[in-house]
Amino acid sequence: TLLPIAGIVGTLGTGWLITRRMAGREATAAAVILFALAGLVLLFPLASGSLLASAALLALVGAATYGTGSVLLSTMPLVLSRRRETASVAAGIDFAFNLGASLGGVLIGVLVDRAGWGAVFVVLAVAAALAGGVLMVAAGRLRPAPDG
């Protein structure tokens, strides 16, 4: 129950951050949260000795994951596409999320068998950082064309 509760807090917190502090910079806010997520994932091996530290870190990772996911699925299609393309962009992002969820367990299992849990944390951190980088590039280069 910790992860969903942290996810709700993360979603509300991300919404507040974007609405109150970073209006018009939704992609930048999501990218910053993804970079923070990469750092948090790398801390997991250090927290393995303490149940409280592991639970707190899991809550922070859940908040960052759910918060970023809600922004990517709801706000980014509106920000980075024309009005007529919004549904297609949202469907593409949703497809990527579902593909990752479908393959994630299998790929992580293979990685654990071959390289251990340390490699899993590194791969997840790199993936979050790459996603943040791609989002930063998209925020700087892609601007919606005027509807017309």
On the question of pLDDT at 35 being above 70, the answer is yes
Whole-number Å distance between alpha carbons of 101 and 90: 17
**Do the beta carbons of residue 26 and residue 75 sit within 8 Å?**
yes
Which amino acid would we find at residue 137? V
Contact 67, 19 (CB under 8 A): no
Percent of the chain with pLDDT over 70: 95
| Mean of pLDDT over the chain | 86
